[in-house]
Structure 1
Amino acid sequence: MTTLTTTPRRRKAVGNALRARLCRLLAPFALLVGLTACAGSGEQHVTVMVPWDGQDEFGAFYSVVKDFEHDTGIKVDVQVTRALTQQLDAAVTADAPPDLAVLPSPTAIARYVRQEDGAKRAAVLQPFDEKTVDIGAYLEPFQGLGQVGGATYAVPVKIDVKSLVWYDTETTGKPRTGSTDALSSFAREGGLGWCLGLASGPTSGWPGADWIADIVLADAGTDVYARWASGRLPWTTTAIERAWTRWRALVGAPTLKKASDYGFTKATQAMADPKPGCRLAHGARSALAAELQKEPRFDFVAPSAHAPLEVSGDFIGMFTDDNPAARTFVHYLSGAQAQQTWVDAAGSSAFSARAEGIGYRNAVQQRIAALLEPASGHPLCFGAADLMSPDVVAAFYRAVLDYAGGDGDAKTLMSHLQQVQPSPDGTDQVPRDDICSDPT
């Protein structure tokens, strides 16, 4: 739980929010012990579970929360946890979920819609009506990714572009494009190293998984990418195996070996080190270390015009159906005013999935946001790992670490991953036809 108390008004708000959460958690026992202290406050409350604890991400979200509380009088209890999936699962199992929670992927959305309740299936996520969410105001592919069976169960609140390569403008010339071939030549000719770290706690390996998915998308195209990401194309397919070997050739075996147990944050921070070292990094701006984000000398290069881009997003879903304040908050959060507040507060590290009505003040942010527009000609494809079942994702990340460390060749690792891959008709995999947008 993150608490910010700088004024009497905010201390009162936080106290009310804490009381609201305590009441929700103790509600199942109220009839047994005669609990009455929660009644009579007269205030509306909404609880929301989020995974952001950094100054930039949480600070931007909290700016929206403060505006909402001021405009509506509804108090928001923000529950902050880095172990969101585990805590949310525990809360759902205990029948004491938060009103709202941030979900990291369409797979998570579908899983909670199809959540098993004993011997029967019961929807845990509650659908949004058109009065709450205008899903048509959002960019593709984000419109469909929050839907299951035609109903909208989640709305994107923050998105980013993963297919970017960052470089130091003071020590490095600008790469021609972000294509694998162009970057390989650029790095080789300039003697430039990649700032790459794969260690990231329980999700170690994810930076490599994103990069490999990016190569699949660039080399094989949106159709192959979408079929692979949704479990309809085997890992043993030549295009998938080739992406791994292309990654090793681009980065270099020695760099991969070091990266297998090198921290992701340390690797991005190394770009800001004035001593000679790595000068290139791959990934979304919001994922990079705060020190790197604030350095004006860093710029990015994207794939060539009309090349597909890998994107990501955080969605918010509703887990209770008896709190109108929750719908009010989602309606507010998904609107242009709140999205603009979020973008402004986040500086250059957050982007909105709304198609219109959002302005970007930072020049680098403006260029990234332009890539998301249909007029750019770039098809947008959601991150592959975010579309896979939890078991496959864990195996994918493990394979990345093994491959980087030299413990296995691509062909053997792909065979192992295929053994973990569930049937596309199974409940653990959700084949989708809306993974990629079509800007034409």
Structure 2
Amino acid sequence: MVQAAVLTLGDVIERAEANQAIVLQAKQIVSERIDLHRAAHADLLPSLSLIAGSVWSQTRNGQPLFVAANASREIIGQIQLNIPLYSPQLNALQTLARNQTDVARYQERESRLLVAARVTAAYYRLALWNNECAVWRSALVAAKFLFKATKKGYQIGSRSRLDLVQTHLMLTQIRDELRQAMVGATTARRILELQSGYPFDGLPDLAVIRLYDLTLPKEQIFDRQAARAQPLLHAAEAEIQAARSQLRYHRSARLPVVRGMIAYGIDTGTLPQSHDLGWQVGLTLHMPIFGFGNNRYRIAAAQEHLAATEASKQALLLRIQDRIATDYGAAQAAVNAFHNEKVLEQETRAVYQMTRKGFLAGALNALALQQAEKNWVQARLKLAAAAIGVLLTKAQLALDTGVLPQSFGGKA
């Protein structure tokens, strides 16, 4: 597999889904449920079996110990075909197995969303640290230039020693902040490598993070999308169907079961001869009459379980809508914060540029320049955090509705 030049959010989610144990476990559970569904379907089909045996009658002191069915010795050797003609419980079990397979499929989708949520958080955390490192590197370049200019001015007598010490202190502080940011970026990078399954130091550089669209659809759109796509809701509906199938299974225990049997072979009380081979055809009916309330209580329990699953789905829907409302408000706040931080960054940049020109011209001291530079750097850091906040809250809204988040700054 050739590594991409840059790593988009879609890339890392795709790789994480292929490597995370929780997704692999969910896939195995789906395969297990599919096999159980096939087995339940096979119970409705005819089955072929071999029956062979020999039974002797025995007595002791004239009292029988056990008796063969047809004579003192019974010999049986048959190929038997059993045909379920009418078996409501087997039909209910097949439906139940299909419903449980649907539940497993939706739970697998939910496990993918869970992995995507973790990876998305790790991806944007690394992107934020990378942005902070970029801000501090840019500030470091500017601080180095100012320190060199101040040092030259001090040597020719146009700058005071205080200005020289102040610009050197500013340079030292920026270097320390850059080191701290690099430590944070290294930790975030390692976490993303673990989440996505990349080998150590094998993670490509992240794609450039840009904000293409700051608009938010109406909150009702997210509610409707969740009703269509949220696998938790679909799994809850499948569990309701499974509970209904369970109820049908217990109710069908009161119904008769009819089976047909076709056999070819021998069933004789004497030594078998060639002319003893023959066909047997049988029809059995099993009709339950009375079981001391055993099935009645099972039906009542199944009805209560069905009511519980239906209530659980309504509670789940309320939780999802509540989560969407909370995250929608967070997304609105993040968009507003981004607009505010963008204006503040532009204003502090203008102040820094004017202060820098004044310092280089000798009209302002290094203390004023340090304060202006500090304000601008902080504004840039807040703007970077606000941009990541917008992307993260919008991604969380997508996850709330059961949709994988878009990969901004790269392919979708």
Say whether the fold is shared (TM-score over 0.5). no
Higher helix share: 2
TM range (shorter): under 0.3
State the TM-score, normalized to the length of structure 2: 0.20
